[in-house]
Amino acid sequence: MDNQTRIDQLTRFIETLNQARELGLSVTDAGDGTLTLCLPYSDRIIGNPDTGVIHGGAITTLMDTTSGCVILCALEDFELCPTLDLRVDYMRPAHPHKPVYARAETYRITPNIIFTRCEAYQEGDETIANCVATFMRIGKEASPKHYRDLIAGGVK
Amino acid sequence: MTDPEILRYTQETGDFSRMLESIPYATWIGLQCERFGDDLIFRLPKKESNLGNPILPAIHGGVIGGFMETSANIYLIMSRESLRMPRIVDFSLDYLRAGLNRETFAECRLTRQGNRVANVMVTAWQKSRSQPIATARAHFLLED
């Protein structure tokens, strides 16, 4: 699968996730087992209005989405994998009015479990948070065919 | 939320509306909170924009995380005398069941409060408290 195909599939997939769409998440970069998503700044995800710093929950959603989506960049066929656990370490608050990026990689794939790690950062590469997660493989048949076809966009 | 007046008002009246209004993210996901005696129960009403998986459909795991994290934060503020906001250090979340498109609840427990760090456990459930959809623990740094 080439990277443009990956980006197209991921964009279609993210479009189906209400919360990710509402947050305005978009694909910045995708490769073999790697993915970067972008979370734009917006007023409604602010945690502290005095400083304008965005809420940790939005960062958690960004990292959960990126970690879950990077699986699409690692597997041949689309497979929905539920999150088993997620651990986020917050390094520093994000600078207000700037987008936050998250880059994730799958570092181990087994028939049952997928292990990912993810880093949230801003311009200048300052780390905002780190995250490790595990996902359970329930098989591609667990998602209806029409949905898989929608994501694949008719391309195999 | 750092506004001491709002915090004092919330602690005295048990009315969380002003505090929640002061946290845009909490308002956006629809978080609510009610006090029962000394206990706090957090509530996340059913909301289309909070969904992730469209097939089940299920609440986005990140929203469940954000809901539990915010709950832990508010719980900690309410259980302390200080007026400063605790700062989250880390957050560890286990997903036990899919969070379906319905009302979700959470309760918190202060596992340990030291001088500088507090450990909070959070449990989230939907239909039955005995069948949690997720458990989490968080460390907060307390600065006065």
pLDDT tens per residue, range A22-37:
999 999 999 999 999 9
What is this structure's pTM? Answer: 0.95
Per-residue confidence (pLDDT) for residue B2, from 0 to 100:
62
- Which runs of consecutive H residues, i.e. helices, occur in chain B? 4-13, 17-21, 24-29, 61-79
- Walking along chain B (144 residues) 10 residues at a time, the average pLDDT comes out as 80 90 95 93 96 93 96 91 81 96 97 92 97 97 82
CB within 8 Å: A80 and B70: no
Q: At what angle do helices B4-13 and B61-79 cross, to 10 degrees?
A: 80
What are the structural domains, with CATH classification, of chain B? Answer: 4-141 (3.10.129.10)
The confidence score (pLDDT) of residue A156 equals 46
pLDDT, residue A129, reads 97
Closest CA to B31 of B131, B124, B142: B124
Contacts of A89 in chain B (CB under 8 A): 89-90
Cα–Cα distance, B71 to A133 (Å, whole number): 22
**Whole-number average pLDDT of chain A:** 94
Predicted local distance difference test score (pLDDT) of residue A125: 81
Q: What is the ipTM of this complex?
A: 0.94
Residue B85: per-residue pLDDT: 74
Q: In this complex, is the C-beta atom of B61 within 8 Å of any C-beta atom belonging to chain A?
A: yes
Tell me the domain boundaries of chain A: 3-152
**pLDDT at residue B11, rounded to an integer:** 85
Q: Please give, rounded to a whole number of angstroms, the shortest distance from the CA of A82 to a CA of chain B.
A: 8
Provide the 8-state DSSP code for A33.
T
Question: What's the CATH superfamily of A3-152?
Answer: Hotdog Thioesterase (3.10.129.10)
Task: Please compute the mean of the pLDDT values over residues A139-144 and round it to a whole number.
Answer: 90
